[in-house]
Amino acid sequence: MRAWFLRYEKRHIWLLAVLLFLAAYFWLRRSRPLMNALADHVTTPFKGAMAHLCGLTAISVAEVFYLTAAAVVIFYTANFLRALFTRGHKCDTLYRFVLTVLCVGVTFYAGFCLLWGVNYHTDSFQDRSGIRARQGTVAELRQLTERFAAELAEAADAVPRDENGVTALDRRGVLRNAPEVMEGAFDTFPVLRGNDVAPKAFVCSRAMTAMDFTGFYFPYTGEANLNMDSPSAYLPSTAIHEMAHQRQIASEQECNFVAIAVCRLSDDPVYRYSGLLMGYVHLSNALYRYDRAAYGEIAAGLPDTVRADLRANYDYWEANHTSFTDATQKVYDSFIKTNGDPNGVKSYGMVVDMLLAYYG
């Protein structure tokens, strides 16, 4: 055993150091003041600087990272298999491979915890904004759903559409306008103030679709990355959602609320429509669980244009749903839970309580 340790001494020290870091992180994250200081003065400024550095190119540096990592994994695995079947000392070769993969994987996870996981243990958007989620009555839920449905119907004619009546946006234009839309909400939501970089288009968007992602925030580069293949009606609100993550807002429910509220405030018709559409979907889904008759009545009053967008979105994700999608969501759910959010991906649905608190 001692001989094996000495043979791979550097890797063993590497693994031990990262494990000690993670142990310290899990222990110290219980201190809210410490996590606030770490996020405010270290990790958030670092990610902001990285976002502006990566913003010098329109290419998603996060995507380049993932593609490069995939190529390295394929090459390294192929080299390992060749060595395993052509050389002696198979156990030694296998141990070296597993140890190296473990070191790299744990290191990446530790970096993710430091740059992103810490935000689950800082003051939340609700803490900083004073907008507290609250439960409401079914009557309040119905009233707010009706309100969003009416505004959504009014905004539907202001967005460009294809021959099928489905929203057809200039996707690159949506990305360029995102910082200006976010800036327009600074007076209403001062906690969102920041110096923004436009979100990035993810070229391999079909891969994001396979994982059931409309976008993601990559803390190593500070970039907001968007799925450019999924229905464009949701692209503007998704852009604001991912930019909300750049404000060290970890909660998905809070980012969804920010996306809806910021877009609803916007003078840009495509952003306003997208935010109202996202808000209506969350509210109506909640209403369906408690009062299906009211849900049906409100849904029946929607114009054909809105119906076309809802149908196109459902058909798109249904057609692209696979077992890989479920597996990816389980992994993401586990990551959220290990970072202190017991709701996991279910926290996406809790945005309704914040909408009721703010608009109710």
Other beta carbons less than 10 A from residue 311's beta carbon: 15
pLDDT digits (tens, 9 = 90+) for 217-247: 999 999 999 999 999 999 999 999 999 999 9
pLDDT digits (tens, 9 = 90+) for 251-291: 999 999 999 999 999 999 999 999 999 999 999 999 999 99
Choice between 88 and 76, residue whose per-residue pLDDT is larger: 76
Are the C-beta atoms of residues 248 and 183 closer than 8 Å to each other? no
Edge-to-edge order in the sheet of strand 200-202: 200-202, 223-227, 215-218
Give the three-state DSSP class for 259: helix
Tokens 């990262």 belong to 18
What is the dihedral angle through the alpha carbons of 251, 257, 262, 263, rounded to the nearest 10 degrees? 120
pLDDT digits (tens, 9 = 90+) for 21-53: 999 999 999 999 999 999 999 999 999 999 999
Other beta carbons less than 10 A from residue 137's beta carbon: 11
pLDDT digits (tens, 9 = 90+) for 185-220: 999 999 999 888 999 999 999 999 988 899 999 999
* Mean pLDDT in residue range 83-91: 78
pLDDT digits (tens, 9 = 90+) for 299-345: 999 999 999 999 999 999 999 877 656 666 565 566 566 665 665 54
Give the three-state DSSP class for 344: helix
Q: Hey, what long-range contacts does 150-156 have (CB within 8 A, 24 or more apart)?
A: 151/264, 151/276, 152/273, 152/276, 152/277, 152/280, 152/302, 152/306, 153/301, 153/302, 153/303, 153/306, 155/269, 155/272, 155/273, 155/276, 156/273, 156/303, 156/305, 156/306
pLDDT at 2: 55
* Mean pLDDT in residue range 160-186: 97
pLDDT at 188: 97
pLDDT at 358: 96
Q: Which amino acid is at 347?
A: S
**Is the per-residue pLDDT at 346 higher than 70?**
no
Residue 159 zone, left/alpha/beta (φ > 0; ψ -120 to 50; rest): beta
Residues 50 and 349: their CA atoms lie apart, in Å, by 31
Considering the entire predicted model, what is its pTM? 0.91
**Is the per-residue pLDDT at 4 higher than 90?**
no
pLDDT digits (tens, 9 = 90+) for 100-154: 999 999 999 999 999 999 999 999 999 999 999 988 899 999 999 999 999 999 9
pLDDT at 93: 83
Chain centroid to Cα 11, Å, comes to 33
Residues 113 and 336: their CA atoms lie apart, in Å, by 11
